[in-house]
Amino acid sequence: MKLLRFGPKGAEKPGLMDADGVIRDLSGVLPDLTSAQLAAGAIARLSDVDPSRLPVVEQPVRYAPVVADIGKLICVGLNYSDHAAESGMAVPAEPVLFTKATSSIIGCNDPVVLPRGSVKSDWEVELGVVIGKRARYVDEANALDYVAGYCVVNDLSEREYQLERGGQWDKGKGCDTFGPVGPWLVTTDEVPDPQNLDMWLEVNGKRYQTGNTRTMVFTVAHLVSYISRFMTLQPGDVISTGTPPGVGLGQKPDPVYLEPGDRMKLGIEGLGEQEQTVHAWNEALIDG
């Protein structure tokens, strides 16, 4: 299934996309797609729903984040060896973990607003892993059993804040609007192998990133197992699994960074596409 949430901020409803690409309203079946609903087995219950009996949603719609109350957005740094090389960093012996603030999370096509004074904001297309049940010290062999589905994430990054302002990466990763998630949560039955998905990103029509999840240093199963050793993963948490090469920081001879008016378009095979317009600092766009 392709599950989604649609509608204006504060009035989102759950939905699904049927086999013909038509959005169907699920609000008569469940109130919203939340962490509690995932924990209570919502995906299994929805497998018995006949999409043709659900109301059709007229498009266009705003796609909201795929889970209403994402509790943690945990990211993995340098998880593609060629991206580590372009960043001038070594391939890590263990996964590098950081978090993005939940205030960074937005719908997949919502405006991206540069923080005040930003001069080095960058893009990163990534595979997102949505946790479906509580995971604590899980074995790698069983780790994918704890996954509800997959989605697209744009792990936007302010490189000056991240790399030149001291401390950890979080300050350059958690800026408001720097975590577009969606458009869909694609359930695991439609993604038999998360390690063989093509992914790409364009800025202003120019292709910068072209990759495949098979070149990850650490697989999805390894990451779920590894992270569960350090923190309990809860239903609705999202793991963003790293990016292939082609980020702005790595462009030669000079880095390329986002500017107001730029348009990003990105996608992952079978998981849909995102498209965002970049704006200068504008608090109304963030809150609206």
pLDDT of residue 94: 96
Could you tell me if residue 207 is inside a domain? Answer: yes
Could you tell me if residue 38 is inside a domain? Answer: no
Could you tell me if residue 45 is inside a domain? Answer: no
Could you tell me if residue 31 is inside a domain? Answer: no
Could you tell me if residue 171 is inside a domain? Answer: yes
Could you tell me if residue 61 is inside a domain? Answer: no
pLDDT of residue 255: 97
pLDDT of residue 109: 98
Q: 226 lies in which domain range? A: 68-287
> At 222, which CATH number?
3.90.850.10
Please name the residues in contact with 14: beta carbons below 8 A apart, sequence gap of 6 or more.
Answer: 3, 4, 5, 25, 26, 27, 29, 30, 31, 32, 33
pLDDT of residue 145: 98
Q: Look up tokens 């924990």; give the residue.
A: 39
Give the residue from 7, 16, 10 showing the smallest Cα distance to 272: 16
pLDDT of residue 21: 96
pLDDT of residue 62: 98
- Indicate the Cα dihedral angle 52, 54, 57, 63, nearest 10°: -100
CA–CA dist 209, 113 (Å, integer) = 21
pLDDT of residue 152: 98
Could you tell me if residue 141 is inside a domain? Answer: yes
pLDDT of residue 179: 98
Q: What is the pLDDT along the chain (288 residues), one digit of tens a residue?
A: 999 999 999 999 999 999 999 999 999 999 999 999 999 999 999 999 999 999 999 999 999 999 999 999 999 999 998 888 888 878 899 999 999 999 999 999 999 999 999 999 999 999 999 999 999 999 999 999 999 999 999 999 999 999 999 878 899 999 999 999 999 999 999 999 999 999 999 999 999 999 999 999 999 999 999 999 999 999 999 999 999 999 999 999 999 999 999 999 999 999 999 999 999 999 999 998
Residue 100, SS3 per DSSP:
strand
pLDDT of residue 226: 98
Could you tell me if residue 274 is inside a domain? Answer: yes
**Token code pair at residue 177:** 């609007």
* Domain count within the chain: 1
Q: Are 32 and 12 in contact (CB under 8 A)?
A: yes
pTM over the 0.95 mark? yes
CA–CA dist 148, 242 (Å, integer) = 19
